[in-house]
Amino acid sequence: MPEIIPQDYFRHEDVVGIARDLIGKILVTNVENTITSAIIVETEAYKGPEDKACHAYNNRLTPRTEVMFKEGGIAYVYICYGIHRLFNVVTGPVGVGSAVLIRGVEPLLGLETMFIRRNNNQKMHNLTQGPGLVSQALGITTDHNGLPLLSTNAIWIENAKMVPDDQVIASARVGVEPSGPIWSKMPWRFRLKGNKWVSPAK
DNA sequence: ATAATGATTCGCT
DNA sequence: GCGAATCATTATG
């Protein structure tokens, strides 16, 4: 039996370290009694309150960012560009608005379901390549917002063998240029080297 | 109440 | 490579 990552694991302050460690772990959802799972191959860390690219920058508290300030180990799902659901793992103790965005996964279980959710797209590499598509394939919706990552819920993360450093690429985050040269260049985007399911963004 | 905008994706050139 | 799609969230009046 695979081991579920306990919520405690997400409650320390080092969101960048958590983003790095999540590479290679298994994201699992159970939506409408169907299990789908995938290996996490791309993540990004968002470190509130000092990270200008983070929604919780400067401790900005709004109805949307509220869940980011809760204790680590719960889901933060929000809608981007009116179209896409982006899935994050909230990290840190209560009151710290940090989270890890899951940008790319490699499909593992429930391939058929993922194809259906992705409108029978036969292109394998497009199945879960990018944060919006990950949520689509795994059936993640705003209903998951605020849910604890537990096997008794619809979504959780399972442990896996630690991926060695020489297999992980750290680089600048994507789509955050407006937050300025300092924060947009922080090497807080992590990818599994050579993996075909990392997001296409440059 | 209204207006601007975005942690993106897709289709067309 | 470029621009449209599309709407919840946010700030502002």
d(Cα A196, Cα A76) in Å, to the nearest integer? 26
How much is the pLDDT for A183?
A: 95
User: Which residues neighbour A185 within 8 Å (Cβ) at sequence distance 6 or greater?
Assistant: A172
Task: Answer yes or no: is A199 CB < 7 A from strand B.
Answer: yes
Q: How far is the CA of A81 from the C1' of C3 (A)?
A: 14
Q: Are A53 and A176 in contact (CB under 8 A)?
A: yes
The whole-number pLDDT of residue A2 equals 83
Which portions of chain A are predicted below pLDDT 50? none
Contact A29, A111 (CB under 8 A): no
Quick one: pLDDT at residue A121? 67
Q: Which nucleotides of C are covered by protein (CB under 7 A)?
A: 5-11
Q: What is the CA A131 to C1' B8 distance in angstroms?
A: 8
Q: What is the pTM of this model?
A: 0.96
For residue A200, cis peptide bond before it (omega within 30 degrees of 0) = no
Closest nt by CA–C1' to A128? B9
Q: What is residue A202's predicted lDDT score, i.e. its pLDDT? A: 65
Model pLDDT, residue A177: 87
Q: What confidence score (pLDDT) does residue A201 get?
A: 75
Helix residue ranges per DSSP H, A30-165? 111-117, 131-138
CA A102 vs. chain centroid, Å, equals 2
